[in-house]
C-alpha cells in the first residue's frame, strides 16, 4: 500500500466529510490525520453533546454550591468522571471528611476498572509504551469509552491509539470549556433552564446506564440501586451511597449466581 507518499497531501487536519466508522477505503493516515479524525468524531457525537451539556450543568452546580471555578475546571480535566466529580463537590458542600469522599469516589470509580480493561486491548499495539497506555486510560470515561468501543475495533491497528487520543482530547477540553460556560451562565440563566441543566446529570446517567447495560447483572443492579437508594439515604448515614452500591450489587450478583447454578443443574 502506498502509505508514505500520501503524507504530503494529507496535511489538512480535519477531513471534510468523515463517514463514521468506515476505515481505510483510501489509506491516508499519518498519526496526526487519525488524531484529527478522532477529534472530529468527538464533534459529531451525540454522547459528546450530552456530555457538553452535562458539564455545563456541573459548572452550574459548582457555582450554586460555592465551589471555586478553577477547582471545578481542574476536576473535569483531572478526575474526568462526572459521578466522581459530583461526589467531590457534593461532599464539599456537605462538609464530609476527605477520607469519606475519597472512599465514595474510589468506589464509584471502580467502574473505570472493567471499562479500561475492556478497551486496552485496542490501545496497546504498535509502540504504545506504558506511559502512552496510562495516558490513554485517563481518557476512559463513559462518553469516550462508548465511542471508542464502537469505533476502534473496526479500525486499522495503527490508527486506534491516535484516534482515541484525538477523541479523548477533544472531549476533555470541550468538557472543561463547558464547565467554565456553566459556571459563568449559572447566575444569568432563567431558573427553569438552570434546573434543566442540573437535571441533565441524573437523567443522562440513568439513560446511559440503561443503554450500556449488557446483561442481567447490569439491569438488576441498576434497578436495585434505584430502589434501595431512598432507604439508605434516609437510614444509611453518610455512607449511604456505598451501602446502596454494596447491597444492590450483591443482590444482583446473588440472583445471577442463583440462576447460573440452577441452569447448570438443569443442564447436567
State yes or no: residue 81 binds another protein (CB under 8 A). Answer: yes
**Residue 259 lies near another protein (rule: CB under 8 A):** no
Q: Which of 15, 70, 125, 153 binds another protein (CB under 8 A)?
A: 70
Q: Residue 184 Cβ, how far from another protein at the closest point, in Å? A: 15
At residue 210, the 3 state secondary structure works out as: helix
Helix axes 142-151, 46-65, angle to 10 degrees: 170
Contact 189, 49 (CB under 8 A): no
Q: How far is the CB of 74 from another protein (least distance, A)?
A: 5
Q: Which of 6, 23, 90, 169 binds another protein (CB under 8 A)?
A: 90
Q: Residue holding cell 486491548?
A: 121
252 lies in the site for another protein, by CB under 8 A: yes
Which of these ranges, 7-15, 30-38, 158-166, 215-223, lies near another protein under the rule CB under 8 A? 215-223
Q: Which of residues 218-247 bind another protein (CB under 8 A)?
A: 218, 220-226, 228-230, 232-233, 240-242, 244-247
What is the size of the binding site for another protein (CB under 8 A)? Answer: 105
Interacting positions 186-205 with another protein (CB under 8 A): 190-196, 198-205
In the window 145-184, what residues touch another protein (CB under 8 A)?
none
CA end-to-end span of the chain: 53
Options 41, 101, 167, 172; binder of another protein; rule CB under 8 A: 101
Dihedral sign from CA coordinates of 78, 83, 85, 91: negative
The CB-of-230 to another protein minimum distance in angstroms stands at 6
CB of 33 to another protein, least distance (A): 26
CA distance readout (Å), 195 to 50, 190, 268: 16, 9, 56
Smallest Cα–Cα separation from 80: which of 109, 107, 122, 102? 109
Binder to another protein among 10, 18, 30, 108 (CB under 8 A)?
A: 108
Q: What cell does 140 get?
A: 476512559
Q: Is the Cβ of residue 29 or residue 136 nearer to another protein in the bound state?
A: 136
Near another protein by CB under 8 A, which window of 28-36, 150-158, 163-171, 209-217? 209-217
According to CB under 8 A, which residues from 50 to 69 bind another protein? 50, 60-61, 64-65, 67-68
Spatial contact of 85 and 79, defined as CB atoms under 8 Å apart:
yes
Taking the C-alpha atoms of residue 240 and residue 233, their distance in angstroms, rounded to an integer, is 5
Task: Check: CB of residue 192 under 8 Å from CB of residue 97.
Answer: no
Nearer to another protein, 117 or 156 (CB): 117
| CA–CA dist 156, 27 (Å, integer) | 10
Number of residues that this document lists for the chain: 268
Amino acid at each position: 500500500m502506498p502509505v508514505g507518499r500520501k503524507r504530503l497531501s494529507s496535511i489538512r487536519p480535519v477531513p471534510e466529510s468523515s463517514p463514521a466508522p468506515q476505515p481505510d477505503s483510501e489509506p491516508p493516515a499519518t498519526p496526526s490525520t487519525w488524531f484529527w479524525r478522532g477529534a472530529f468524531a468527538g464533534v459529531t457525537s451525540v454522547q459528546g453533546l450530552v456530555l457538553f451539556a452535562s458539564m455545563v450543568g456541573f459548572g452550574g452546580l459548582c457555582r450554586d454550591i460555592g465551589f471555586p471555578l478553577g477547582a471545578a475546571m481542574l476536576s473535569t480535566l483531572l478526575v474526568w468522571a462526572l459521578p466522581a466529580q459530583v461526589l467531590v463537590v457534593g461532599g464539599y458542600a456537605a462538609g464530609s471528611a476527605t477520607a469519606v469522599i475519597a472512599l465514595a469516589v474510589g468506589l464509584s470509580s471502580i467502574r473505570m476498572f472493567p471499562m479500561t480493561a475492556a478497551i486496552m486491548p485496542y490501545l496497546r499495539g504498535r509502540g504504545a509504551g506504558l506511559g502512552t497506555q496510562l495516558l490513554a486510560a485517563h481518557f476512559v470515561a463513559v462518553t469516550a469509552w462508548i465511542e471508542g468501543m464502537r469505533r476502534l475495533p473496526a479500525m486499522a491497528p495503527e490508527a486506534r491509539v491516535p484516534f482515541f487520543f484525538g477523541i479523548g482530547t477533544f472531549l476533555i477540553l470541550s468538557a472543561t470549556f463547558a464547565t467554565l460556560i456553566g459556571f459563568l451562565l449559572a447566575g444569568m440563566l432563567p431558573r427553569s433552564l438552570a434546573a434543566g441543566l442540573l437535571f441533565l446529570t441524573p437523567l443522562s446517567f440513568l439513560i446511559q446506564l440503561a443503554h450500556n447495560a449488557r446483561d442481567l447483572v447490569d439491569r438488576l443492579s441498576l434497578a436495585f440501586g434505584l430502589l434501595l437508594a431512598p432507604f439508605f439515604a434516609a437510614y444509611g448515614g453518610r455512607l449511604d451511597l456505598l451501602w446502596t452500591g454494596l447491597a444492590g450489587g450483591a443482590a444482583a450478583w446473588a440472583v445471577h449466581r442463583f440462576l447460573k447454578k440452577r441452569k447448570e443443574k438443569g443442564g447436567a
